[in-house]
Amino acid sequence: MDGDVLVLAQKIVSKAEGRLVNLNQVTPSQRALELAAITQKDARFVELVLSESAEVLRVRVNTLIVQHRLGFVCANAGIDHSNVHGDWGADEDWVLLLPEDPDRSAQKLREQMRERYGCDVGVMIIDSHGRAWRTGTVGVAIGIAGVPGLVDLRGVPDLFGFQLRITQVGAADELAAAASLVMGQAAEGTPVVHVRGFPYALRDSKLAELIREKSLDLFR
């Protein structure tokens, strides 16, 4: 129906787009070898992280935090071993990169849904990310089409008539977290969630509206 939202796990999109990589085909650079020695990660894996990153932000044992080339900050550039299987070699040698352009992927799916079903739906691609001040991963949007990333409530009155001054709701991330709870994180096998009743109107959107500008980032 018009106004519905389809939320897709990043993995099925990445697999469909051929983003599977075997580590045996990767040659680590000197920088990757240096970071691998600190993080105690496979240097080939680190090389892939560097290739997907705009900037390395934090390096510790078993920790590599980067700004992804798409703009958001995450661990390991979103590259993952879980629920990945290749056609040859050991499964632990296979990893999956994020989609090349998740916004574009979401928009293409949205257009296909409109053409096939004749209705206007939103599409989101989500991934599981950690958070700076809390333990545990939550679902976040990494690609959106039709779903508002931010909903600006500045000027809207509260229950007692006070006008909100700074409140902007990360609506896409809120929905991503809810959908991730339904999808699960291990062997649940539920990579798509069909959402009905999303409380905000659909509109043209891009992930960039959720990325805080570096000049406003107080925590780097």
Q: For the chain, which residues score pLDDT lower than 50?
A: none
Integer Cα distance of 108 and 16 in angstroms: 13
pLDDT of the residue at 203? 96
pLDDT of the residue at 220? 76
Integer Cα distance of 98 and 9 in angstroms: 11
pLDDT of the residue at 89? 58
Integer Cα distance of 130 and 136 in angstroms: 6
Integer Cα distance of 205 and 41 in angstroms: 36
Give the residue carrying structure tokens 């050991």.
90
Q: Does domain 5-10+99-216 have CATH number 3.30.1330.100?
A: yes
Contact 10, 113 (CB under 8 A): no
Integer Cα distance of 92 and 105 in angstroms: 27
pLDDT of the residue at 218? 82
pTM: 0.92
Integer Cα distance of 6 and 196 in angstroms: 9
pLDDT of the residue at 71? 94
Determine the straight-line distance between the first and last CA of the chain, rounded to whole angstroms.
42
One-letter identity of residue 172 = A
* Every domain range in the chain assigned CATH 3.90.1660.10: 20-96
pLDDT tens readout for residues 81-97: 887 877 765 677 899 99
Give the residue carrying structure tokens 């409530």.
153
pLDDT of the residue at 132? 84
pLDDT of the residue at 88? 63
- CATH code at 20-96: 3.90.1660.10
Residue 207: phi and psi, rounded to 5, are -60, -30
pLDDT of the residue at 90? 60
